[in-house]
Structure 1
Amino acid sequence: MSLNIKKKKMIVAKISKINHCALSALIVNFSGVCTNNLNKLRKKSRENNVVINIIRNKLLKLIIKNSNFKCLEPLINGPILIAYSLKHPGAAARLIKKFIKIDNKFKIKAASYNNQIIKSENINILAELPTYKEAIVHFLIIIKEISMGKLVRTLIAIKNLK
Structure 2
Amino acid sequence: MHSGVAIPLLRRAQFSFSMARRGARHSFASIQTALVALQRNVLLCKMVPTAWGFGFGDCLTQQLGPLWPTEQWPSKHNLAAHDPSKTLAMAGVGAFLGAPLSLALYAHMDALMPGASLLLAAGKFTLDQIVGCIVWQAAYMVISEPYRRTLVQFLQAQQQQQQQQQAAMTVAC
Is TM-score (shorter-chain normalized) higher than 0.5?
no
Q: Which has the larger radius of gyration?
A: 2
TM-score by length of 1: 0.26
Higher strand share: 1
Which structure carries more helix by proportion?
A: 2
